[in-house]
Amino acid sequence: MSKLSVAIVGGSGYAGGEFLRLALNHPHLEVTQVTSERNAGDPVHFVHPNLRGRTHLKFRRMADLEAADVLILALPHGNAAKHFARFEGLAETIIDLSADFRIKDPELYRKYYEEDHPAPELLPSFVYGNPELHREELRGATRIACAGCLATSAILALYPLLKLGVPLPKDIMITGLVGSSAAGASGSDASHHPEREGSLRVYKATGHRHHAELTQELPGRFPLHLTAISTPRVRGILTTAQVFIPDGYSERDVWGAYREVYADEPFIRIVKVRKGIHRYPDPKLLDGSNFCDIGFETDDETGRVVIMSAIDNLVKGTAGHALQCLNIARGWDETLGLEFVGLHP
Ligand SMILES: NC(=O)c1ccc[n+]([C@@H]2O[C@H](COP(=O)([O-])OP(=O)(O)OC[C@H]3O[C@@H](n4cnc5c(N)ncnc54)[C@H](OP(=O)(O)O)[C@@H]3O)[C@@H](O)[C@H]2O)c1
């Protein structure tokens, strides 16, 4: 089988660099171009030292991009939509890692991004890149808008209960603890600030932009509230979602919902262990892997269920699920290039 050529735009960043790392091990992909304006002409491993000896590619400018089979857009928010005319003729398949095409409703976009969408006519052509929710739409898709990292962690934590319509009596409270790499190498994500990277602090008490993705993607439009906290860790997201189950429901029902909905998911693992120190999802175990680990614990007295999910924001939250989406779109084995299981200890 001949390999598909891949061009990564914004390849000096964390997300683009991570896609490159994964694509170098993919049997059907060959990365032929990686762009960076600031590093044009330099070998890729000057910026991504982990790839030394694995690729001899050099960065080129966006203006020098040539046609490829697959274009990965890993640019700061706003750039993909504003410059889409430059990209659309270059590749049959375009996968955008930014938030530009995730939100289908321009009004919802305006509410969270505080501006009119620059190209609303393009929104319907993109499939929201979350394999667990949109697998059928992803088959054969040529434009994919990959889900946000915190959104992915929260959506996967809550999806089974909401999909099965468990009648939750109270609002859902979500807290996401997010590693500093979610801000990007240049701190390009507006909700972070590079000077504050690596500290433990609340960076968005209310109004986080990924709330828009939860509103759009979670069934039932259930009232939910999201707070994001940045942590000193570099990679990883740990999310807790607190829900209350109604009288007559028990942890067995919760367990059954997750088993039913995620039974065949290759990258979702339910963590439910009574003994030992590995009883809860732990982002440390997922570094570099495409898994989302989900666990839950119930307080029988109050009916409160704490649902926990952990991912690597740069893999299952970005480059990994982008590759999973591409595998699905092309009809390949969904797990190709994503077999790494993480490290322990
Ligand atoms: N980090 C994450 O965990 C994560 C998770 C999900 C989604 N994403 C999304 O992925 C995208 C990239 O994020 P990132 O974390 O990789 O950011 P990043 O580390 O700051 O990288 C941004 C990339 O875009 C290039 N760039 C910056 N400004 C540019 C401009 N005006 N025109 C052209 N190129 C420009 C940068 O390189 P040069 O300046 O050298 O050109 C760099 O290659 C963002 O939209 C982000 O929201 C990131």
pLDDT of residue 190: 45
Residue 243 resides in a domain: yes
Query: What band does 199 get if pLDDT is binned at 50, 70 and 90?
Result: confident
Q: What phi and psi values does residue 149 have, to the nearest 5 degrees?
A: -70, -50
The three-class DSSP label of residue 15 is helix
Catalytic option among 146, 149, 292, 325: 149
Q: Does the structure show a pLDDT above 50 at 189? A: yes
Q: What span, in angstroms and rounded, lies between the C-alpha atoms of 268 and 160?
A: 12
| Residue 325 falls in the annotated catalytic set | no
Best probe residue, ligand 1, of 186, 192, 286, 287 (max atoms within 8 Å of C-beta) = 186
Q: Residue 273: count other Cβ atoms within 10 Å of its Cβ.
A: 11
* Nearest atom within ligand 1 for CA of residue 14: 16
Tell whether residue 249 is among the known ligand binding residues: no
Residue 122 resides in a domain: yes
Q: What's the domain range around 142?
A: 4-147+316-330
Q: Report if pTM > 0.95.
A: yes
User: Does ligand 1 come within 6 angstroms of the Cβ of 75?
Assistant: yes
Q: Could you report the per-residue pLDDT of 265-300, keeping only the tens digit for each?
A: 999 999 998 898 899 999 999 999 999 999 999 999
- Reduced DSSP (H G I as helix, E B as strand, rest coil) percent helix, strand, coil of the chain, to 5: 35, 20, 45
As a whole-number percent, the residues of the chain with pLDDT over 90 amount to 93
Residue 325 resides in a domain: yes
Considering the domain architecture, whether residues 65 and 33 belong to the same structural domain is answered as yes
Considering the domain architecture, whether residues 297 and 154 belong to the same structural domain is answered as yes
Tell whether residue 256 is among the known ligand binding residues: no
pLDDT of residue 274: 86
Q: Could you report the per-residue pLDDT of 238-260, keeping only the tens digit for each?
A: 999 999 999 999 999 999 999 99
Considering the domain architecture, whether residues 112 and 216 belong to the same structural domain is answered as no
Q: Does the structure show a pLDDT above 70 at 57? A: yes
Q: How far is the CA of 158 from the centre of ligand 1 (A)?
A: 28
The mean of the pLDDT values for the chain is 95
Q: Does the structure show a pLDDT above 60 at 142? A: yes
Considering the domain architecture, whether residues 140 and 239 belong to the same structural domain is answered as no
Considering the domain architecture, whether residues 46 and 20 belong to the same structural domain is answered as yes
Q: Residue 180: count other Cβ atoms within 10 Å of its Cβ.
A: 22
Q: What span, in angstroms and rounded, lies between the C-alpha atoms of 281 and 170?
A: 24
pLDDT of residue 196: 52
Best probe residue, ligand 1, of 75, 235, 238 (max atoms within 8 Å of C-beta) = 75
Q: Does the structure show a pLDDT above 70 at 194? A: no
Residue 341 resides in a domain: no
Residue 338 resides in a domain: no
Considering the domain architecture, whether residues 321 and 289 belong to the same structural domain is answered as no
Q: What span, in angstroms and rounded, lies between the C-alpha atoms of 222 and 215?
A: 8
Residue 344 resides in a domain: no
As a whole-number percent, the residues of the chain with pLDDT over 70 amount to 97
Residue 217 resides in a domain: yes
The CATH number given to whatever domain includes residue 244 is 3.30.360.10
Q: Does the structure show a pLDDT above 80 at 61? A: yes
The CATH number given to whatever domain includes residue 108 is 3.40.50.720
pLDDT of residue 242: 98
Considering the domain architecture, whether residues 268 and 189 belong to the same structural domain is answered as yes
Q: Which residue has the tokens 């991504």?
A: 48
Q: What span, in angstroms and rounded, lies between the C-alpha atoms of 47 and 51?
A: 9
Considering the domain architecture, whether residues 164 and 125 belong to the same structural domain is answered as no
Considering the domain architecture, whether residues 66 and 86 belong to the same structural domain is answered as yes
Residue 197 resides in a domain: yes
Considering the domain architecture, whether residues 277 and 128 belong to the same structural domain is answered as no
Q: What span, in angstroms and rounded, lies between the C-alpha atoms of 12 and 183?
A: 14
Q: Does the structure show a pLDDT above 80 at 313? A: yes
Tell whether residue 313 is among the known ligand binding residues: yes
End-to-end distance of the chain based on CA atoms, in angstroms? 38
Considering the domain architecture, whether residues 128 and 264 belong to the same structural domain is answered as no
Q: What span, in angstroms and rounded, lies between the C-alpha atoms of 206 and 193?
A: 17
pLDDT of residue 198: 67
Considering the domain architecture, whether residues 130 and 226 belong to the same structural domain is answered as no
pLDDT of residue 342: 96
The three-class DSSP label of residue 256 is helix
User: Does ligand 1 come within 6 angstroms of the Cβ of 319?
Assistant: no
Q: What span, in angstroms and rounded, lies between the C-alpha atoms of 320 and 288?
A: 9
Q: How far is the CA of 166 from the centre of ligand 1 (A)?
A: 38
Q: Does the structure show a pLDDT above 60 at 195? A: no
How many independent structural domains does the chain possess?
A: 2
